[in-house]
Amino acid sequence: MNTSESFDNNFTATDESCNTFTTVDESINSMESQTVAFGNIEIREHAMILGKGPSASGTGPSLEIDWQAQANTVIAIEEYESMRYGRRHKNELIMPSAYRRNLLLETGYTMREISEMESSKNGKGSFKQKLSKLLPHSSKK
């Protein structure tokens, strides 16, 4: 018997190397005395940057967060819970492409940088070019 097994006679057997037996009541009492406590929450803020991958909606620029944290805040869990917003619906998590574009413009990106990144990801000829690289070329006779 390598793992713990329960028996109908209200005893629990543990690993054979320990040769320890405890009653189910003792196990329940020891679990009730164990508690979990949470202290402080650390919130890290990151800069928003122009993403290199496709956007979640399939159109417009994609957003990413920078690796380097800009700000770090430590607060008590009770304070965090009192200020926290309720859960958002999944439709509220999607940002329209125009909104993402405006956020990037507000953070200092130029329209040209945004357009260049979008065209490099969504260029008209890019799919055909990628496909032609994958397929063997047939020689014309």
- pLDDT, position 60: 87
132 within some domain: no
- pLDDT, position 26: 65
Q: What is the pLDDT of residues 31-65, one digit of tens each?
A: 667 888 888 999 999 999 998 887 777 788 999 99
Of residues 135 and 15, the one with the higher pLDDT is: 135
- pLDDT, position 9: 43
Of residues 3 and 55, the one with the higher pLDDT is: 55
Q: What is the pLDDT of residues 4-25, one digit of tens each?
A: 444 444 444 444 444 556 666 6
**Domain match, 51 and 89 both:** yes
- Letter string b/e over residues 110-136, b meaning 16 or more CB atoms within 10 A of that residue's CB: eeeebeebbeeeeeeeeeeeeeeeeee
**Domain match, 69 and 114 both:** yes
**Domain match, 84 and 116 both:** yes
Q: What is the pLDDT of residues 61-101, one digit of tens each?
A: 999 999 999 999 999 999 999 998 888 898 888 889 999 99
**Domain match, 63 and 6 both:** no
Q: Which two tokens stand for residue 49?
A: 């940057």
Number of domains composing the chain: 2
Domain that holds residue 8: 1-35
- pLDDT, position 4: 44
**Domain match, 90 and 55 both:** yes
**Domain match, 61 and 92 both:** yes
